[in-house]
Structure 1
């Protein structure tokens, strides 16, 4: 075993392999930093270039890309409040408030240090776990997978501000959205309303970009300010963040282990690991006199970053050891193994063990090099948080629209981004946790599949007699108790939260949103009754519980509306304030501008529409001069034509009147 480990190191430490690894790292850093891209797209792009390569340099190139996208996606999460990838949603919760507080450099230092430790821990775990992986993975059955998903959703309550009911209700909204289209265990499409775009379900990337990106860009556009709400003091540096990660070393290691173990379980991955780690951190660490979780606590940034970078090492264990891809990215990696003539399983754990251990060294080196490069660049990136936000908005909007287009070249994806952006804006103002919705959406298919199979295979007595299921039930109950405790603690800190912060809320708008969602939930129940047993089981389990949580949230909002009415001297005045303030009208104009982009695309194409968006925003909305506006517009054209058109080979929309 030791000889194979050293032989694997020798395979990696050759100039050619190291060069390909560095190339993959650089490409992966760029992919992770651009919202809407990610490791899967990167591997799909570079996979054809590896057909004629030897196995070791080919895998170095591929793993270099995979290893660092979960590190560089921190940039968008911290600077823009947009998850760079689906696995960095929890990073937004405290990373973006830190940037708003002028602590972007500190956030980068802490995040990149935790990411490097998590990635290295994942590689080491892969090295020591391969001989014992089979019984550990096979111990999880369908009941355990369902309970693990439920545990992840319960963690949502820890990021729900001062209302557990809103967190769980938002998670149920995400679960119901995941029921659109064909179910996992039936051939009956559900809730698709005869719209072909919905028959395969809502796509994840447009949903995430709409919920997170548009509300944050609207906030910058409406308020005409920088990302940071304070001046640059120069005291919050990269070194400050590194010290934060070192001080919380035990939290980093615990969350790395969470990421490794969840990565080993098929169907989960980084999209749940970061939330479980975030929930663990908020429940387990002692609350000091800092801003609190969700308002810029550095520990809320460290925990998910350590976990989501450790996931890859854990995910490689079943992929290499059993040939079981635990996610879409691992399935693509399994295809790369096949192209290189590698056979996961017994062969890679015996006669090809040196090659398998070379993957460990690749992961460790890629994470260290990626974190070091980002440390060098992050101070300059952090300075962007102090420049005029109007210079950031149009560029980010271009990336958002094109990120949704890369997911699927369908104009309906842009409409989804637009619609979810409006919903995300309402949720942000109303104090509804958007990450909870996304987590429910991601876990929906996993939990439904586990619930359907468990109900067909086990009786209730059988399920309750499984030791691992009982352990998870106990952890689930403990997590709920801790969630309630953290919610009560959050209410004590609520007085310190600024009025325009995501957790401040707006009771009238929140109540309207809750009532609409409650009506949809109640309507979803009779729609599900005629379906087959496997198709209706999960929706009928979600909808009543979600309706109950929505009712509790609405009751709390009614109390808030009454208090606002008493303060303003009229029952209708709180509702008039929603539409009567200047911010509300500017938000409406912002969405009309985005709707114009879709209409212009229909008429003359994307290149003209997105360029017009940049020019209109800078010249008319922000009031910049003609030459800065034209320079920015030219850069947008070059980006669209060179990067998306020539490098990524995007298939552009065919307009009614093509001009270019």
Structure 2
């Protein structure tokens, strides 16, 4: 074993492997920062460059990049409230409120510390668990995937949003939207409305960016103030070391979430979708003081950031041992193994044990170096929280548009971005949980496919499998405890004995939020009824899941409407209050103009001109600022996306 370890270390430290490792880390840090890009994108871009590399250099290049994307994605999640990658969605819930309090440095210190620790834990778990991991992986099959997916939905839905009902409604809404496209069984096209674009379902990246990014861009554009709000002056004294100390104080939570991330990462095809949510839900459920979650609790940053980095090592286990990709990027890594003449399987633990151990070393180095680099630069990056919001809007818009475009290089991706941007604005105003929606959207196809497979193999006997019974018990207990907690909270609020965790919202704000929630819940309920009626003529295996999602969605939404009517009070908000500030509509119109004009003129030119036009309009004709932003945007588009990313632009009617 020692000889294999030394041989693996020589693969990593023999030139030019160290140079490729540092290059991969640098690229991964950049990809994680940009919303919409991810380790999967990086793997696809970098794989062709490995054909002429030796094994050590190729693995260092690819895995070094992959390891750190879930470290740098924290920057966008905390500063902008936009998930840098799918693995950082849960970080937004508490990370962004911390930035609004001026505590971005503290959030970064905690996140980068636990990211390094989580990555190292995942790597060590890979090293020590390979001989004994097969029984653990084989424990989870299709029936357990169903129960684990439902547990994740109920965990997130019941602890996020304005209430349990709105959280569960949002999760069920996400489940319903995930059914657009061909059914996993029967090859029936569902809810495509004759559009070819919808046959493969809605792409994740435009949906996520629409729900999270557009509402925050609109918010920055409307008030023009920095992300860090002035009414939280005390938080501005936070430092990176405060976050590091937070991580050390919560060492037991770090270890638990590291174990959760490693094990869930081992589950093929599932880990990357829910690992951060499971860790976040675990943190909430095991905390005695839960009221601060969602309002800027540093533990809400520590839990998901530990787990999503630990999952990287876990995902390598089924990839190496069984040749089964633990996550989509691992499927590309399998291609890299084949390019190098390596066959994943038992041979990786015998003839190529040195290569396997070299991957452990690469993960450890990449996580530590990536976290250290971000620690060094985060103090400067945290200052973005104090930059006037309108200065950031053009640059953020560029990356949001290109992140959505890179998902499929189709105009439909931009239209999806806009559509879910509107939905995201409404959900934010109504107090509905956007994270719960996204989790339902991501995990819906996994639950549906696993359910069909479980029934075909086991009938309904799968419900009695021991692991399923344990997960079902945890699910019921989770729901019961959260319902009881909400009832106690309402009673305490009605009696005036509830402690002031945060300043209570103004009564008019509560009425406006409730009114928006009633409108959204009514629309969603009507949509669910329509979806159920459309599915009646489909084969049973294609219509079962739409019906199973529609029924609880109607129930939750109707119950939510009943609750919200009591919160509105005697005066219904006016139409002007419901539709919001005119600048919100103006910003949406600006996005719509970009999309529409891109059919006529080259996209890159449209984006650059739109950036300049926004700056001129927002800052009263300051042409130097507009020119600087347009020039910077043109350089980024050319270097990052056209030369390095190989983007395929939409053919315009007018060319130059």
Contact 1:182 1:190 (8 Å CA) reproduced: yes
Deviation of 1:56 (Å):
1.4
Give a deviation string over 1:28-76, Cα, whole Å, max 9, x none. Answer: 0000000111111111111111101111110011000110000000000
Give a deviation string over 1:130-169, Cα, whole Å, max 9, x none. Answer: 1012121111121111000001101113442441111111
Q: SS of the counterpart of 1:75?
A: helix
Q: What is the match of residue 656 of structure 1?
A: 653
Deviation of 1:535 (Å):
1.1
Give a deviation string over 1:518-559, Cα, whole Å, max 9, x none. Answer: 001011112112111221121121110111111111112222
Q: Distance in 1 between matches of 2:364 and 2:589?
A: 47
Is 2:612 the counterpart of 1:615?
yes
Is 2:417 the counterpart of 1:410?
no
Alignment of 1:394-543 (within 5 A): 394-460=394-460, 462-485=461-484, 487=486, 492=498, 496=503, 506-543=513-550
| TM-score in terms of structure 1 length | 0.95
Q: Distance in 2 between matches of 1:47 and 1:105?
A: 35
Q: Distance in 1 between matches of 2:4 and 2:510?
A: 52
Contact 1:578 1:584 (8 Å CA) reproduced: no
| TM-score in terms of structure 2 length | 0.95
Q: Distance in 1 between matches of 2:228 and 2:254?
A: 27
Q: What is the match of residue 634 of structure 1?
A: 631
Unaligned runs of 5+ in 2: 491-497
Deviation of 1:459 (Å):
3.1
Q: Which of the residues 643, 646, 650 maps onto 1:646?
A: 643
Q: What is the match of residue 257 of structure 1?
A: 259
Q: Distance in 2 between matches of 1:50 and 1:540?
A: 47
Alignment of 1:347-426 (within 5 A): 347-426=347-426
Is 2:99 the counterpart of 1:117?
no
Contact 1:161 1:487 (8 Å CA) reproduced: no
Q: Distance in 2 between matches of 1:252 and 1:144?
A: 25
Deviation of 1:385 (Å):
0.2
- Cα–Cα, structure 1 residues 385 and 485, in superposed 2: closer, same or farther, change >3 Å? farther
Contact 1:143 1:454 (8 Å CA) reproduced: yes
Give a deviation string over 1:603-645, Cα, whole Å, max 9, x none. Answer: 1121222112211211113435111111111111121122212
Give a deviation string over 1:311-365, Cα, whole Å, max 9, x none. Answer: 1100100000111113211111111111111111110011111110111111011
Is 2:205 the counterpart of 1:205?
yes
Contact 2:158 2:165 (8 Å CA) reproduced: no
Q: SS of the counterpart of 1:602?
A: coil
Deviation of 1:503 (Å):
9.7
Q: SS of the counterpart of 1:392?
A: helix
Q: Number of aligned residue pairs: give it.
A: 646
Contact 2:512 2:578 (8 Å CA) reproduced: no
Deviation of 1:499 (Å):
5.8
Q: What is the match of residue 271 of structure 2?
A: 269
Q: What is the match of residue 160 of structure 1?
A: 160
- Cα–Cα, structure 1 residues 417 and 503, in superposed 2: closer, same or farther, change >3 Å? farther
Q: What is the match of residue 237 of structure 1?
A: 239
Q: What is the match of residue 493 of structure 2?
A: none
Q: Distance in 2 between matches of 1:12 and 1:167?
A: 47
Q: What is the match of residue 106 of structure 1?
A: 106
Give a deviation string over 1:420-457, Cα, whole Å, max 9, x none. Answer: 00110000010001011110011011100111111222
Give a deviation string over 1:463-516, Cα, whole Å, max 9, x none. Answer: 243111111111112222233355457765676255699999711111111101
Deviation of 1:86 (Å):
0.7
Q: Distance in 1 between matches of 2:283 and 2:47?
A: 37
Q: Distance in 2 between matches of 1:233 and 1:477?
A: 38
Contact 1:259 1:308 (8 Å CA) reproduced: yes
Q: Distance in 2 between matches of 1:629 and 1:423?
A: 30
Alignment of 1:165-176 (within 5 A): 165-176=165-176
Is 2:41 the counterpart of 1:41?
yes
Contact 1:162 1:490 (8 Å CA) reproduced: no
Q: CA RMSD, aligned part only?
A: 2.0
Contact 2:32 2:72 (8 Å CA) reproduced: yes
Q: What is the match of residue 62 of structure 1?
A: 62
Contact 1:158 1:487 (8 Å CA) reproduced: no
Is 2:586 the counterpart of 1:589?
yes
- Cα–Cα, structure 1 residues 488 and 360, in superposed 2: closer, same or farther, change >3 Å? farther
Contact 2:180 2:190 (8 Å CA) reproduced: yes
Q: Distance in 1 between matches of 2:509 and 2:399?
A: 23
Q: Distance in 1 between matches of 2:489 and 2:2?
A: 50
- Cα–Cα, structure 1 residues 382 and 489, in superposed 2: closer, same or farther, change >3 Å? farther
- Cα–Cα, structure 1 residues 501 and 578, in superposed 2: closer, same or farther, change >3 Å? closer
Q: What is the match of residue 495 of structure 2?
A: none
Q: Distance in 2 between matches of 1:444 and 1:305?
A: 23
Q: Distance in 2 between matches of 1:546 and 1:172?
A: 5
Contact 1:428 1:502 (8 Å CA) reproduced: no
Contact 2:157 2:171 (8 Å CA) reproduced: no
Q: Distance in 2 between matches of 1:86 and 1:482?
A: 28
Q: Distance in 2 between matches of 1:86 and 1:503?
A: 31
Q: What is the match of residue 554 of structure 2?
A: 547
Contact 1:164 1:484 (8 Å CA) reproduced: yes
Give a deviation string over 1:233-268, Cα, whole Å, max 9, x none. Answer: 752111110000000010011111111111111121
- Cα–Cα, structure 1 residues 53 and 65, in superposed 2: closer, same or farther, change >3 Å? same
- Cα–Cα, structure 1 residues 484 and 574, in superposed 2: closer, same or farther, change >3 Å? farther
Q: What is the match of residue 89 of structure 1?
A: 89
Contact 1:274 1:307 (8 Å CA) reproduced: yes
Moved over 3 A (4+): 231-234, 485-495, 497-505, 572-576
